Structure formats: C-alpha cells, structure tokens
Amino acid sequence: MQMPNSSNENETSGSSVALQNRDNMSAGTVSLERELASTRRLLWGDHVKEDVFRRWAQGFHFSPDEPSALIQQEGGPCAAIAPVQGFLLKILLSETGCVFLILGQCLATKYNVAVYRKNDTEGQTSSGLNVSAEELSCDAIDHFHRRIEVHTFKAITEVEAFYTRNIRILKDKYGVLLLLYSVILSKGVEAVEMELSELSDPLIHSTYGYGSQGLINLMLTGRAVAHVWDHEQVVGGLRLRGIENQNDIGFLTIMEHMQYCTVGSFYKNPKHPVWVLASETHLTVLFSFERRLAAPETAGESAERIFRSFDPEGNNFIPSAALQDVLCAADLVSEPEYVELMRRKLDSENLGIILLSAFMDEFFPGSERGAPDTFTLHHYNGLSRSNPGGRVVYRTGRAALLECPMRAATTDPMLTCLQTKWPSIDVVWDEGQSPSLN
C-alpha cells in the first residue's frame, strides 16, 4: 500500500452508490443499505461504545522514523493495522500489492469500496483528527455510517486504480475502518457470518475494542474462520473450521504456549517470512529477509514439532503411553502391536519415558532443518508507547537455533511466543532487551 501524493485525491470512479435521498432509493441501493447495516452489527454488535469507536477512527499513517512502518494511535485497531503491515512487509520481500491483496483474497464477484463522504465545510488536518460541527452535535458512530458511500468495481485492478487516485481515503481519519468495511462488503456479510457460524459475538469486542480471531483471520486469509489450526477439527461433536491453505503471511500467538489454542502448520509456515504475533491484547509483526525461514517443514521438523506438542514442559521426553498418539499425529504407523514393539525399543530400561533424541534417531535418522542455524529477525510494534523513546521503528534481533530447547527456562513473552514455532530459538535483540508484544 503505497501512499503517493496525487493532485486527483478527491476524484471518484466506479458505480457510486450514495446512501442518502431515501425517497428515491433504487432496489439496489436499499439492498446495499441493508448490507451496510448488517456490517455494522457484525463488527460492533447492537451497542457501540463511543470510546471503542473513537480508538478505531484513524487513518493509515507511516512513522517519521521508519518510512514503511504504520503508526497505531491507540489500542484496538491492531486487528486491521497489523495484517496490513504484514502485507506491506510482504511487498518489501516480493514486490507485490497490499490492500489489493487483502481485498482480492476474499474471492469476491465484485468489490465494494467504502468511502467517507465529507461535508463541504468539514476540515481535516494531515493527522486526520479534526471533526466537523455535525459530528460533534450527534453520535459519532451514526454520523460515520450516514456518510458512507460505496463504490462498486468488477475487477481488483479497478480497485487498485481507484485507491491510487484517491489515496486520501486510506490516509484520512476513518481509513482503517473504511478498509475493514470494504473487506466485509466485498466478501458479503452472509459469507462472513457463515464462516463464523459457531460464534455470535461481534468481530470487535464491545468493551475492550480488540479484534476477534475471526476478524484477524479474515484480514490475513480472506476467510473469517474462528480457529488457527489446519483444516477442520471435531471438538465436542462440533466440526470447527480452521485455516485451509498455506497462507502468504503467518500467525503465531503466545496463547499457544498457554495451551489455549493450537496454531497449525499453514500459519506457522507461510509463503513469506512474515508473521503476525499475538499477545493476550495486541498484535505485532515479525519478519525476516531470510527466505529459508518460509520453506515448508521437512518431515523431520514436522515430527519433532508434533513430539514437542506432547511435551509442553520442554523436557525433551514424553510419557511412553503417549507414543501411539504421537505416531498417529505424525502419520506414522500406529497399529497397537507396532506401537508396543517401538515402546519397548525406545524405552528399553522401562523408565516410562521416551526421549526426543531416541524418537528422531529411530524414525528420522539424519534429518536436517529447513531453516538455517542463525538468522536475523525484525519486529514491528505500531504503538509509540511500546517502543523505546516512543519511536515506531523496526527492532532487530540475531537469532540462533540451539541444540536444546530453552522453553522451560524463559519467562520472556517474545521468546515464549517464538518458541511455539522454533522450540530451540534464542534471540539477542538490539538495545539489550526484547521488543514488547503489547
């Protein structure tokens, strides 16, 4: 998403549908107004706190200290800003589009781009913080929704051309929200609701203002599923949908270390070495110029990751009784007779445990890592208050994959999060301390 200056920043094109003049609405306009009302309920629920809405009402702005790093003004909209930042970094790595990719991955039959229609007298500074007299005199949320226009395009190339001519749409006060509305309106409210079938809460938390996992997944993958594992899983008799394919951008979360969820291989091993990182309350972005970090897992790496999932304490062994589950999860032979034979061999002293080294030597002798042993990582956090000196800049760390995992020995949230993908990783960051996940 480049931000060029343009003398035609207020130009419009496409099929413009102004949500006004109710006496003369066409059937198509009525339908679009209903879709917009449904989008509002889907995002915000029945009641929206003014403070929550205000925190989301910002445009896309770059840091004066890091020209490709977006600034997040307050807590909340990271569910939209962090995915956009991730795609921006993908641009740096692969020189492809950003906002247009986010909309394009929705696989829409048409693209509905939301635009905020300003009053003729409505001023707006470059920071997008000024408000009009009308906005001050009424509910800001209702004011925002009354002044939305929707422009419809048949092809994503038309969307790209429109945003290029009208880049202020994304830079001005409601830019983040307008992109969010454009994604939902393009995909279709019914399609989003169907993917969220097992959930009824709004996509934006009504009290705290953070985005749900369904919203994060929608921005990252084009599908608003509520889970981060691969494919579907049956839980309590319910078939719950996760991530269907290897994604352009990955996702890691400290919540996996806390055993609240399981992030699948598609998210852990994206096509590009860019990952959105989740703490309990905030999203940041990790990236690297080391392309080998995005290589698919080797069979040995996959098996080691599965083994370690049965070893949450990082002890480098599992109970012997868990061997059948590990073999099954790793798509290895798991017939009872064979499992019992392997259990006696791998636990020859009958200690009740099976070592990781013995497991790997038996099933994947000579297995090599796809990732290099050492590499450089960079981290982005869009909140000024979370960066040293209040400057939004990329932090740099030098990473090493050690022989033995450090999972049991660290209380560093950043390292804990990264170890859900690289169990043996250690990182030395610039300025002597890890970046903040919050």
Active-site annotation, residues: 78, 282
**63 forms bridges with which residues in the sheet?**
66
Q: Which of 210, 158, 216, 226 is nearest to 183 (CA)?
A: 216
Rounded Cα–Cα distance for residues 101 and 139 (Å): 33
Closest Cα partner for 46 from 214, 202, 211, 209? 202
State how far the Cα of 14 lies from the Cα of 277, in Å rounded to an integer: 37
Q: Which two tokens stand for residue 348?
A: 């020859």
Distance CA 82, CA 69 (A): 10
Task: Look up residue 287 and give its DSSP letter.
Answer: E
- Tokens representing residue 184 in the block: 């939902």
Which residue(s) pair with 243 in the sheet?
A: 230
Residue with tokens 């929707």: 150
Task: Please name which of 278, 269, 236, 229 lies closest in space to residue 250, comparing C-alpha atoms.
Answer: 269
Q: Is 390 exposed, middle or buried, given 0-12, 13-18 or 19+ CB atoms closer than 10 A?
A: exposed
CA dist 364 and 303 (Å) reads 9
Order across the sheet with 15-18: list the strands.
15-18, 148-153, 111-116
Rounded Cα–Cα distance for residues 229 and 115 (Å): 35
What value does the CA radius of gyration of the chain take, rounded to a whole number of Å? 24
